[in-house]
Structure 1
């Protein structure tokens, strides 16, 4: 596991900084409207501190909680909070990463996909389509998103809001994975690849998936 942030890789990655531009107020409102029309709950918050409060408030005492790797979750302070003592949750992440045997740990990670609350982020938000785009190498993060998790909490900076699904996928491949590849080499000694990509167009279960949009530049 790694607690490094995007800032650790900025000097090592050549990317177009326009991918971190913020939407206008009208564009953000359009994104929220279309995400809600697609079945997602949406909460817009001012900053990282408010994002952490929003995430914590969503999770009831006694719930089992798991998270996929997310620089955004780290930046808002959720990883630190999860591994602290200020909650009454079942911390599945701590249980998983305490297992030394590789096969047992992988099995526990699969089971944890079905947590009461699974948290993560996305790489692009398509404002016109009301859709979310995310990917990872193994699928250990996005595997929980479509169905496995009982409840899904996704947090993202508004810098991830782009025009449509095509632009969201382009942001994923041309921008986000340049950073993720650097992180993977630092953390795991291997290169990453967006081998398992999800275009999350609609949520059919009311209240299952909440998107916390933060009016700051967060993650990649």
Structure 2
């Protein structure tokens, strides 16, 4: 049975003031500021609409990789990539079919240059910056440059007023929850080992942020 967020979230101490659903004005202002910083933005009302928005971004024949993301699991994308009716090349399925550790690690590095790399984010500042961190860097390594196209999906609960608040959210909301997930899933603690502040996208039409008006991910 796959692990569910409810298995660990309810008993994890987080700063709930940095995990609230914002009002419509805040969502609209955040979307506009993200656009001003070069990101394409799609705002949807539900997880189902988010999956449709993601599907519409990716053309047939594209190579697709996803970093681990609770949000992608919650909208159904992780399952769709592996089992759905599409004409993409799923690099994740190819990678996890490799038995040799060294070859699998090399394939993971190569997957950072996928045609489309999908993942989540740990915090979004209303001022238009994205904040994320990884233990290994296998997700955020693709975001700044490596992947040809990036699609980031986020619940609006990750929107906070400032970049400073976004960094606080990473420490006091995202990390505690990811740490519990990692201990349950892998038997090891997580770490904010590699951190990204994505302030601007300078390449037109490269990075799309799908904002979902729901409480998703962490």
Aligning the two structures, in what range does the TM-score lie when normalised by the shorter sequence? over 0.9
Q: What do the CA deviations read for 1:11-43 (whole angstroms, capped 9, x no partner)?
A: 331112222211111111110110000000000
Q: Partner residue of 1:57?
A: 56
With 194-203 and 3-12 compared, the bigger mean Cα shift is at 3-12
Residue pairs, 1:32-47, within 5 angstroms: 32-47=31-46
Q: TM-score, normalised by structure 2?
A: 0.98
Aligned length: 218
Classify the secondary structure of the residue corresponding to 1:133: strand
Structure 2 CA distance for aligned equivalents of residues 148 and 117 of structure 1 = 10
1:3·1:74 contact (CA, 8 Å) conserved in 2?
no
| Cα RMSD for the two superposed structures | 1.1
Q: Partner residue of 1:90?
A: 89
Residue pairs, 1:64-79, within 5 angstroms: 64-79=63-78
Structure 1 CA distance for aligned equivalents of residues 111 and 99 of structure 2 = 16
Q: What do the CA deviations read for 1:113-136 (whole angstroms, capped 9, x no partner)?
A: 0000000010000012x1100001
2:68·2:119 contact (CA, 8 Å) conserved in 1?
yes
Q: TM-score, normalised by structure 1?
A: 0.97
2:45·2:214 contact (CA, 8 Å) conserved in 1?
yes
Q: What do the CA deviations read for 1:161-214 (whole angstroms, capped 9, x no partner)?
A: 001111001000111110100111111111001110000000000000000000
Q: What do the CA deviations read for 1:85-137 (whole angstroms, capped 9, x no partner)?
A: 40000010000011111111100000000000000010000012x11000010
Structure 1 CA distance for aligned equivalents of residues 126 and 164 of structure 2 = 11
Classify the secondary structure of the residue corresponding to 2:215: coil
Q: Partner residue of 1:202?
A: 200
Classify the secondary structure of the residue corresponding to 2:141: helix
Q: Partner residue of 2:217?
A: 219
Name stretches of at least 5 consecutive residues in structure 1 with no aligned partner: none
Q: Partner residue of 1:170?
A: 168
The counterpart of 1:135, out of the listed 112, 133, 136, is 133
Residue pairs, 1:6-25, within 5 angstroms: 6-25=5-24
Q: How much has 1:3 moved relative to structure 2?
A: 4.4
Name stretches of at least 5 consecutive residues in structure 2 with no aligned partner: none
Q: Partner residue of 2:143?
A: 145
Structure 1 CA distance for aligned equivalents of residues 34 and 189 of structure 2 = 32
Structure 2 CA distance for aligned equivalents of residues 13 and 85 of structure 1 = 33
